Copies of this chain bind each other. A is one copy, B any other.
Amino acid sequence: MSTAALPADFLRAIAESFPSDFLTREPAELQEYGRDWTRVYAPAPGAVAFPRGTEEVARFMALCHQHRVAVVPSGGRTGLAGGAVAMHGEVVLSLKRMTRMEPVDLLGNTVRVQAGAVTEAVHQHCAPHGLTWPVDFASKGSSTVGGNIATNAGGVKVIRYGLTRQWVLGLQVVTAQGQVLELNGALEKNNTGADLRQLFIGSEGTLGIITEATLKLTRLPGKQDVFLFAVPDVAAVLRLFRDARQAPLVLSAYEFFTDKCLARVQRHRKLRSPFEAPSGCYVLLESEGGDPAAVEAWLASLFERGLVTDGTQAQGAAQAQELWSLRESISESLSATGVLHKNDISLPVANLEAFCSELDAVFASRYPGWEICLFGHIGDGNLHVNVMKPDAVEKADFFAHAKQSDHAMFDLVRKHGGSISAEHGIGLLKKDYLGYTRAPGEMELLRTLKRALDPAGILNPGKILDV
């Protein structure tokens, strides 16, 4: 499908029944709205639509269905898997004008918002009431509620709060045929057959368009303690994790990174390690609550029991921010100091140690000397695996090899019951690898659902899997 393929009678119908600024075909806007943060696909949408509300989305979808026009739903376009990329003349349906937020319901602890509301704006809207929507990650300044829900977004606080899925009470969805569904309203409990919300959460816009949501809120966290620990290896990271989960505190983050990551952060950001001696791995642990004396006793015991080789606790907010910035600068520092190939995978926590050591062996035998930078939300079993290009290897060669190494890594992921995409989704980027995580029976069921909900195949076609 190319730009020219948008049917004339479809365009005429849009022009007749929508405001004049509803649709654009300006080349600059096609470029901008045709892609997300994934930079490997050439955007080529046929048009971009900017509805102001659900009623317009519904009428628009009915027209698209009638004329068999493919639609790519689009939020903050911060995705990393190409889920919001339009490269075949589709119409991008941008929710950017749908940013309305209703007053916070202080009895139910909920807020109703349109799908285009920006994550951080929701946080700011709720914070004066001591409440928050605990969906939080680096791109919160641009990502939207609808995009977060459509990708079931994760982040650094999943260990404390769970994924986005847990924080959506009600969902308003427009179907491929243009029907508006109001799913679950603002109910905590509603056992009346299959929970239809769940179909749309994490489906990357392939089953319906999320237009509004009633978000579940929680109290802003109280005082948080931030610790950085040095441990020799992944096995020690996991021993400490097991211990920390039994400690007299509530874990709100358990993040890990290797010395290789830290070295690149130090090089790029000129940040200092708080430790004298380097160590194989580091753990950033954030906690809430707990009796201070009990927490102190636990901390002391970590050294006595040999669970950590070094450790520091942030004294005050500025130091806490310094420790967090070591972890949060990793992505940027890796990109700034080299060429890399990334993956976002997950494993059952119990299999992480075996996986990491087998992964080391695979890379060591296939690509001796290549640098692998591992970090991630290890408390959720989530690893970000980054392969750095050696100076001596050409870029094209490197990416060809990296792609091959993906297969070797995904074989291990499959062997250990893991997922090839922990939080970034499948989109276009991981589509060819979906079979490593989904068995043939699951793939068939995914196709069955897609055909049942979008028989004309107009909703984000080609994303996740081909029908």
Contacts and interface: CB of A to CB of B under 8 A. Distances in A.
Interface of A: 105-110, 130, 151-152, 154, 158, 162-163, 165-166, 175, 179-183, 185-196, 198-199, 201-204, 206-207, 219, 238, 241-242, 245-246, 289, 346-350, 377, 380-382, 417-426, 430, 434, 437-439, 441-442, 445-446, 448-449, 451-453, 464-465
Given A182-B439, A289-B289, A350-B186, A192 B419 contact: yes
Contacts of A105: 348, 350
A225 B48 CA distance: 56
Contacts of A445: 181, 196, 453
A193 B183 CA distance: 20
Contact of A194 (B347, B430, B449, B451): B449
Decide if the interface of chain A is mainly helix, strand, loop or mixed.
Answer: loop
Nearest to A455: B448
A232 to B, nearest CB: 18
Number of identical protomers? 2
Nearest to A201: B195
B434 A381 contact: no
Nearest to A204: B193
A387 B467 CA distance: 52
Contacts of A381: 108, 187-189
Contacts of A420: 192
A192 to B, nearest CB: 5
A197 to B, nearest CB: 8
Contact of A421 (B191, B418, B453): B191
26 contacts: A105-B348, A107-B238, A108-B349, A151-B191, A162-B166, A166-B166, A180-B441, A181-B441, A181-B442, A185-B418, A187-B418, A187-B419, A187-B422, A189-B377, A189-B381, A189-B419, A190-B346, A190-B422, A193-B464, A193-B465, A194-B446, A196-B445, A196-B446, A198-B198, A219-B246, A448-B452
A382 B189 contact: yes
Contacts of A198: 195, 198-199
A321 B120 CA distance: 44
